[in-house]
Amino acid sequence: MKSLGIDHLKTHLLLSLFLSCVTQLGFAANSEFLRLEIENLNGGNHASTASLVRNVDDLSAIYGDYQYQPLWFADGPLASLRTDLQREILRSADHGLALHRYHYDELLAGTLPETQLDVLYTDALLSQVRDRYRGAVAQVDDQWYLERESIDPRGLLQQLVAQGKGLSDLLHALWPQTPEYWALVAKRAELSTAADATSRPVDGGPALKPGASGPRVAQLQERLLGPGEHSGTFDEQLRQAVVTFQQGAGLEADGIVGNATLEVLNATRFSWIDRLDANLERWRWLPRDTPSTYIRVNIAAFQMRVIENNAEALTMDIIVGRPYRETPIFTEDMQYLVFFPYWNVPYSIAVKEKLPLLRQDPAPLAAAGYQARLAGSQEFVPVTEVDWQTVRPGQFTLRQLPGDHNALGKVKFMLPNQHSVYLHDTPDKALFRKSERTFSSGCIRLAEPRKLIEWVLNHDKSNYLTQVDRLFESGETTTAYLKDPIPVYLVYFTAFAVGDDVVFRRDVYGRDQRIVDQLREAGKSRV
């Protein structure tokens, strides 16, 4: 019996030694295969991974740090998190991100060799980190001047390796953590499960007005009033339905179905989802550390909001740039106010808009307070004292005197920037009766500047607060500097939260589709 025990012990030790050797050989083999996989990627050979990877440099550094050992298989430190990552990738589709971008099909099938799958899991994680935090597409808006923030996905992966858990919480925290962003996500989920419209679109053609009749009017009635027997005549009931629809869509509520109304009327839930995807992407481009008090100008909504201590303190209708003079997206600090300002006419406006008028007849511009300074002179003179037939672009500077006709009105709010864009009053108050207000040369015109003056000076605890009446009526040019500059964000959202709902506005600058196209291309390319 004793000899049998000894023999059994010997056998056990030999078997343990054999298994240990086999295990070491397995690790070595995995390490070698992973090293070759990474070398292929560095050499531009993506074929072995079945779909393209996006983070080649990071992958090389990461696997080098871990001696080319598996991270997600063979008892790797992230092996228990594979299902969590698959689940998070699937959830990211609810935010408008393409699943193919993160190798979802390959990871779910699990049919590739483990070394290849290991690389794809790591690549997918790195891409999820970047795309959630700073957006998935290249910068396609040429008027976007807000710098997107960077993030260190390798550092987060190392954190996961050290913890061995918490992947879902870590990735969730990378989304924009604002109620407005999550309102768009919720709206997208609602539309994704909604039933398709049962009525057919309204055919294109001339504008439909009260008194019109025919098949297109019948289509309009079905679209707005629901299925049933319709007269095909544009009556008062239909006009009211059109007005109600236009008001809800932020369109000119004139009861006439022109191109703008028809575009929104014929939109499907899929087109609304596309719009939401574009706006969700914009949110991911924005700075994350927004202060508790700031001013936000939503160009597409024609609205300014003052946020004070994370609560809305003031809203105001605004006018923004014309489609050929788009208001840019950027942020700067409001530093001072100027009461009864001069308008120093930007060069492009002076040359393209004012010079032809001056050559035709300078008298109307002189009556409106315009002065010119010729090259080599230090003095401004009335524009009627200049021979404009001999003046060429670049040879003059133009300004408008303070007064009732001044394009800036009684006050401008200065946030010095490279675009020469700021907030200001306007003498053209009638334009605020329009729903879509693209009438400026890029600056932001305010419907109620007096209210913003009072809020700014009160927030700044300025001594000028007691002098607002005098400053606003004296006609004297006065500059009021702020002790604490106020951040101003100019943004562009065509879908945004209002109360418990999300509203859509027409994409007046045509910016949404470029983002949507990029998101779709990302899905097609399987990267």
Give the residue numbers annotated as catalytic, written as ranges: 424, 443
Residue 273 three-state SS: helix
Q: What angle do CA 86, 88, 89 make, to 5 degrees?
A: 65
**What is the C-alpha separation between 237 and 235, in angstroms, rounded?**
6
Residue type at 393? P
**What is the C-alpha separation between 506 and 478, in angstroms, rounded?**
39
* 97: its two tokens: 């991100």
- Whether residue 509 contacts residue 129, with contact meaning beta carbons closer than 8 Å, is answered with no
Residues whose CB is less than 8 angstroms from the CB of residue 421 and which lie 6 or more positions away in sequence, other chains included: 327, 328, 330, 415, 442, 443, 444, 490
**What is the C-alpha separation between 201 and 271, in angstroms, rounded?**
13
Pair type for strands 495-498 and 501-504 = antiparallel
**Residue that is written with structure tokens 């990029």 in the block:** 518
- Whether residue 373 contacts residue 447, with contact meaning beta carbons closer than 8 Å, is answered with no
**What is the C-alpha separation between 177 and 258, in angstroms, rounded?**
39
- Whether residue 146 contacts residue 285, with contact meaning beta carbons closer than 8 Å, is answered with yes
Closest CA to 119 of 169, 70, 82: 70
Residue type at 436? E
Q: DSSP alpha helices (H): ranges in 435-495?
A: 449-459, 468-473
Strand partners, 440: 321
Q: Which helix (H) or strand (E) holds 315?
A: strand 311-321
Residue 437 three-state SS: coil
Query: Could you count the other beta carbons within 10 Å of the beta carbon of residue 381?
Result: 12
**Residue that is written with structure tokens 């997107």 in the block:** 148
* 122: its two tokens: 């790591």
**What is the C-alpha separation between 368 and 478, in angstroms, rounded?**
21
- Side-chain-facing half-sphere of 29: CA atoms under 13 Å: 9
What is the total residue count of the chain? Answer: 527
Q: What are phi and psi of 405, to 5 degrees?
A: -95, -5
**What is the C-alpha separation between 426 and 129, in angstroms, rounded?**
45
- What sign has the CA pseudo-torsion 129, 132, 137, 140? negative
Among left, alpha and beta (phi > 0; psi -120 to 50; other), residue 433 is alpha
Strand partners, 294: 307
